[in-house]
Amino acid sequence: LVVANIYSDTLVALAAALAACVAPAGALVLSGIEASRSAEVERAYLAQGLQRENVHTRGEWAALVFRRS
């Protein structure tokens, strides 16, 4: 399980490095994402071969949960 609670720009910049830390069948939880930018962050991690498992939103903030198959 890898968890990161940092701003969207940083999550996008670290997509390759964070995705590389996720073990097979492992999970990655990203939070601290402005809801209006969650699609951008999602695309960055999908491009790394992860699959989106869930999205949680609260007000203007979002968290994305990915899994490596």
pLDDT tens string 15-36:
999 999 999 999 999 999 999 9
- What is the average pLDDT across 29-56? 97
Token match 């203007």: residue? Answer: 60
If pLDDT is split at 50, 70 and 90, which confidence band does 44 have?
very high
Please name the amino acid found at residue 68: R
User: What is the reported pLDDT for 31?
Assistant: 96
Give the pLDDT of residue 61: 96
Mean predicted confidence (pLDDT) in 36-41: 97
